[in-house]
Amino acid sequence: MAASSLSHLPSAALPHHRHATVKLLRRRPFTVKSLSTPTTTPTTLTQDQLKQLAAVKAVDSVKSGMVLGLGTGSTAAFAVARIGELLSTGQLTNIIGIPTSKRTQEQAASLGIPLSVLDDHPRIDLAIDGADEVDPDLNLVKGRGGALLREKMVEAASDKFIVVVDDTKLVDGLGGSKLAMPVEVVQFCWKYNLKRLQEIFKELGCEAKLRLEGEKPYVTDNSNYIVDLYFPTPIKDAEAAGREISALEGVVEHGLFLGMATEVIIAGKTGVSVKTK
């Protein structure tokens, strides 16, 4: 599937098992069904301009009357801005947005995007969000912005989930960037769960750290803490890892988004390309 022409930017740019270890199994074969030819850009663009270009491409899938999952993060903010612009000019109508964080809710409300919640709209037509890592099977790490629980709830309820990233987010295996893989935990006895998370992955050399904001623990929109896991090498069996993490009492959610993305739009120095399942 070839990417459509992207010759313009929008007029405004907004910005249990206790003591268990994960079994390392070989990944099942997977085939990406479609990889578009990159859309070339006539001039060299900054990373933010490329993100914006990819976000515009994602919003091309939005139709009037849709219920939309509105993602969180710098790339998702461009998509929200574009949706707001199209609403203001009448090119989109009857849109309802389900935000995945308080900051996305504030941005969308400021742009006049009508908002609701999953309680009232349990089925979402399309979600658009960024990601921190994307592997060749279109599995994701998300949540370095702290919104992983609401993101996963909204995106799991979506018929289609488009992910927008720049090419620095592409990895051979999840955890491969050696940056944080977040786990949201309740505040009660968080040290206990931090130690248990590190114990699960001790054979992988994982380091578990409480996320801080200044000198205090970072608190999510759901009043929880985040334990960030740092892996020296990619996780060989993300599904097994996710099951082991979720089995711990006090774990609310983890940042492994497996089998959820239906399309990934990638912005790179040579332009924008699209991967679909």
Q: Which residues does the annotation mark as catalytic?
A: 151
How long is the chain?
Answer: 277
Report d(CA 252, CA 186) in Å as an integer: 7
Rounded-to-integer distance, Cα 163 and Cα 239, Å: 20
CA distances from 177 to 111, 122, 209, 215 (A): 34, 34, 16, 25
- The conformational region for residue 255 under phi > 0 = left, psi -120 to 50 = alpha, else beta, is alpha
CA 222 remoteness from chain centre = 17
Sign of the dihedral defined by the CA atoms of residues 92, 98, 100, 104, in that order: positive
Measured between alpha carbons, how far is 18 from 29 in angstroms, rounded to an integer? 30
Give me the half-sphere count of Cα atoms (radius 13 Å) on the Cβ side of residue 161: 23
